[in-house]
Amino acid sequence: EVLFFPSRPCCIEALLAEAAEPGAPARPCPCPLPSGDTALSRLVRRVLSARRSLDLCLFSFSCPQLARVVQLLHRRGVRVRLVTDAQYMGLHGSQIGRLRHAGIQVRHDQHSGYMHHKFAIVDRRMLITGSLNWTTQAIQSNRENVLVVEDAEYVKAFQEEFERIWEEYNPANYSFFP
């Protein structure tokens, strides 16, 4: 599947409620946003399909809706690991602090170069990758693409890249301590 952005703004409360309590009767959300089928709702559905693991490698993560998706998966027992960029994680609106506060493992680079990837791997079997940073600006205003790929060859290459980065960014390897 290929998703193109910008996406119309949409309400994802029904998707979150169904993921939190499968089969519970739907309660209509009072917000004025439509809950139709959009690039954002499709992305959210894909991420919410995680049952065992979610590996995130994101340059910039400031979208509160997607942060709620990740927190929900974490609460549901999915093993979430998040790699991000040191320079961007402290910017205004970043969700990294909130995710760390929720108990999610986060690692970041310690280089001047950017950790510029924007991909997610669901259950080590589905790759979600493209130009899209997980920011509201990118989702609602930019021309962006996201590929959803289950081809084992691509998933394996990105999973290996994730593991390399996860180890390289292990705080035990920090070199800025004396």
Residues annotated as part of the active site: 116, 118, 123
- Say whether residue 145 binds a copy of itself (CB under 8 A): yes
Q: How far apart, in whole angstroms, are the C-alpha atoms of residue 81 and residue 55?
A: 5
Q: Tell me how far, at minimum, the Cβ of 132 lies from a copy of itself, in Å.
A: 8
Q: What is the DSSP letter of 176?
A: S
- Say whether residue 143 binds a copy of itself (CB under 8 A): yes
Binding mask 11-40 for a copy of itself (x = CB under 8 A): ------------------------------
- Say whether residue 70 binds a copy of itself (CB under 8 A): no
Residues 6+ apart with CB under 8 A from 141: 6
Positive or negative, the CA dihedral 85, 122, 51, 20 is positive
| Residue numbers 84-123 binding a copy of itself by CB under 8 A | 109, 111-119
- Say whether residue 173 binds a copy of itself (CB under 8 A): no
Q: Quick one: 17 or 147, whose CB is closer to a copy of itself?
A: 147
- Say whether residue 9 binds a copy of itself (CB under 8 A): no
89, 70, 88: which is closest to 79 by C-alpha? 70
The residues facing 55 across adjacent strands are 81, 121
Among 157, 163, 167, 173, indicate the residue that binds a copy of itself (CB under 8 A): 157
169, 156, 148: which is closest to 2 by C-alpha? 148
Q: Are 90 and 117 in contact (CB under 8 A)?
A: no
Q: How far apart, in whole angstroms, are the C-alpha atoms of residue 21 and residue 12?
A: 14
Q: Quick one: 18 or 161, whose CB is closer to a copy of itself?
A: 161
Q: Are 49 and 111 in contact (CB under 8 A)?
A: no
Three-class SS of residue 27?
coil
Q: Quick one: 74 or 108, whose CB is closer to a copy of itself?
A: 108
Size of the site for a copy of itself (CB under 8 A): 33
- Which chain residues interact with a copy of itself by CB under 8 A? 2, 4, 6, 59, 109, 111-119, 129-132, 137-138, 140-145, 147, 153-154, 157-158, 161, 165
